[in-house]
Copies of this chain bind each other. A is one copy, B any other.
Amino acid sequence: MTVQEALEQFRSTVKNAHALQHAMGVLSYDAMTVAPADSAEGRGETLSYLSGLFYEQMTGPALKEAAAVLRENKEQLTPLQRREIEMFDRDNEYLSAIPAEEYVAYTALLNEADAVWHKAKAESDYASFCPLVQKIFDANRRFAGYYRPELDPYDVQLDQYEKGLTKERTDAFFSALREKIVPLLHRVMERPQVDDSFVKGFFPIEKQREFSDWLMQVETIDRNRCSIGETEHPFTTGFNKKDVRITTHYHTDEVLDSMFSVIHEGGHALYELHSGDELEGTLLSGGCSMSIHESQSRLFENLIARSRPFMKVLLPKLRELFPEQMAGVTEEMLYRAVNRAEPSLIRTEADELTYSLHVMIRYEIEKALFAGEITAEDLPRVWNEKYKEYLGVDVPDDRRGVLQDSHWSGGNVGYFPSYALGSAYGVQILETMKRDVDVDACVGAGDLAPIAAWLEEHLWKYGQTMDPLELLEKCCGAPFDPAYYTDYLEKKYSEIYGL
């Protein structure tokens, strides 16, 4: 096989694998947005079949042979091609280590778990979900063992979402956060609470949908390439640069939850929509890692949409859509309301200050489950204990406790640290951006295009051509430093709560 033939073989097999991923992705998106409740069984069979075909394509002899030829002739490849082979080797080594039938069974398991989790959450019935969550954790631990029996399986798991991430690094990061955040939160809690009563009340879904459209427009999202759907748990998925989907969840009794979901998922979408053109269809398109992905979603959600200048843009729109609720509300009142810090039950609704504590709880539970220190049966008890310990709140039911997130039912085990890391990356990225862009002026004018353009130029366009810390350093001109994040929180909340 010549290098040219190998390249063509590689390209066409990757294209076939993408087609299968696309089909599976749309089946899953459909399942979570609009499919009838009883449709899981037939979809499970279809997903099993497609995942078997995907496994065949990605681990089959055609692609391996082509990759071997390319690996042996690296000097004839472009840097992008070399990077792609490297990425293929990583993914392929993990995938090939899993027996085909286990891979297919795992796909079917996730499809079942999604349906069961939806019902379990609605009915606050953890017992029905418990055996599935155990199976999902077991499968992930087994897969990690097949792939790197010499490593700690949870380290393998973390590395899947964030190349190079380990328990050691995560522990150190969370320890640095905890040291700053916990005393800061205690000081905040001693101060009088800010008023956010005007964001509660009755907010009709139709008006909230209109609000979402406006938010996506302000965020510079091209609606011809990105749609919005409604799901139990908000998420973003993308099939290619011209087909990205975000979702939200509307609550009629308040307005901020969906608003921040839309902006958060919109940040993910922007990253996917602006991946480099030359990477499209290769293994290098899309986001670099989940932490870098979360850095973008959290940047838009918190650093932009929870900033003081954004209130100049937000308040007039809220007044237009919800004139009664917003009567008498000033920009300052709104700014304080959207930044109200308070220990609470739900991660996605948490303020910036307590957010990382929610993430730490999940991280510690995953670690303990992977280490065999606890089983799925212990989850509600451990969850509730940790919420009491870290946040001082009593969890009234599993719906608002261990069943709140869709990550475990979706097989995203080891994902959670990405949220906290991403929040920290985001602050460092924004501080860097401020050297080139007058961020406050842009945000205050409701013109986010210069911000998006900077991110595209310094981050989005690179796709997966670098590992996360390498990309972050290239973007920021300095290595990752969590102090940017803790300093930001300290300054922001000291000012709001007059510490």
Q: Give the interface of A toward B (CB within 8 A).
A: 15-16, 18-20, 22-24, 26-27, 29-30, 33-39, 41-43, 45-46, 49-50, 53, 206, 222-227, 229, 239-240, 242-245
Which of B20, B36, B43, B206 has a CB less than 8 Å from the CB of A226? B36
What are 18 of the A-B contact pairs (CB < 8 Å)? A23-B46, A23-B50, A26-B26, A30-B30, A34-B34, A36-B223, A36-B224, A36-B227, A36-B242, A37-B223, A38-B225, A38-B243, A39-B225, A39-B242, A42-B239, A42-B242, A43-B239, A53-B53
Contacting residues, chain B, for A43 (C-beta < 8 A): 22, 239, 243
Contacting residues, chain B, for A244 (C-beta < 8 A): 36
Which of B15, B20, B34 has a CB less than 8 Å from the CB of A33? B34
Contact between B46 and A19, CB atoms less than 8 A apart: yes
Minimum C-beta distance from A496 to chain B (A): 38
The residue on B at minimum CB distance from A49 is B19
Minimum C-beta distance from A250 to chain B (A): 13
Contact between A229 and B34, CB atoms less than 8 A apart: yes
Contact between A35 and B227, CB atoms less than 8 A apart: yes
Minimum C-beta distance from A159 to chain B (A): 29
Contact between B239 and A38, CB atoms less than 8 A apart: no
Contacting residues, chain B, for A53 (C-beta < 8 A): 53
Given contacts A23-B23, A27-B23, A223-B36, contact A242 B41 (CB under 8 A): yes
The residue on B at minimum CB distance from A42 is B240
The residue on B at minimum CB distance from A206 is B206
Contacting residues, chain B, for A33 (C-beta < 8 A): 34
Q: How far is the CA of A18 from the CA of B42 in the complex (A)?
A: 10
The residue on B at minimum CB distance from A33 is B34
The residue on B at minimum CB distance from A239 is B42
Known: A20-B49, A38-B243. 14 other contacts (CB 8 A): A15-B49, A22-B27, A23-B24, A23-B50, A26-B26, A34-B229, A36-B224, A36-B243, A36-B245, A38-B242, A39-B240, A42-B239, A42-B240, A42-B243
Contacting residues, chain B, for A18 (C-beta < 8 A): 46
Minimum C-beta distance from A282 to chain B (A): 14
Which of B42, B224, B227 has a CB less than 8 Å from the CB of A22? B42
Contacting residues, chain B, for A245 (C-beta < 8 A): 34, 36
Contacting residues, chain B, for A240 (C-beta < 8 A): 39, 42
Contacting residues, chain B, for A35 (C-beta < 8 A): 227, 243
Minimum C-beta distance from A393 to chain B (A): 35
The residue on B at minimum CB distance from A40 is B242
Question: Which 4 A-B pairs rank lowest in CB-CB distance, beginning with the nearest?
Answer: A39-B243, A19-B49, A42-B240, A19-B46
Minimum C-beta distance from A482 to chain B (A): 37
Minimum C-beta distance from A242 to chain B (A): 5
Contacting residues, chain B, for A239 (C-beta < 8 A): 39, 42-43
Minimum C-beta distance from A426 to chain B (A): 26
Q: How far is the CA of A46 from the CA of B223 in the complex (A)?
A: 22
Minimum C-beta distance from A209 to chain B (A): 10
Which of B36, B45, B225, B227 has a CB less than 8 Å from the CB of A225? B36
Q: How far is the CA of A42 from the CA of B37 in the complex (A)?
A: 28
Minimum C-beta distance from A219 to chain B (A): 15
Q: How far is the CA of A42 from the CA of B42 in the complex (A)?
A: 25
Contact between B19 and A45, CB atoms less than 8 A apart: yes
Contacting residues, chain B, for A223 (C-beta < 8 A): 36-37
Contacting residues, chain B, for A41 (C-beta < 8 A): 242
Minimum C-beta distance from A319 to chain B (A): 22
Contacting residues, chain B, for A23 (C-beta < 8 A): 23-24, 26-27, 46, 50
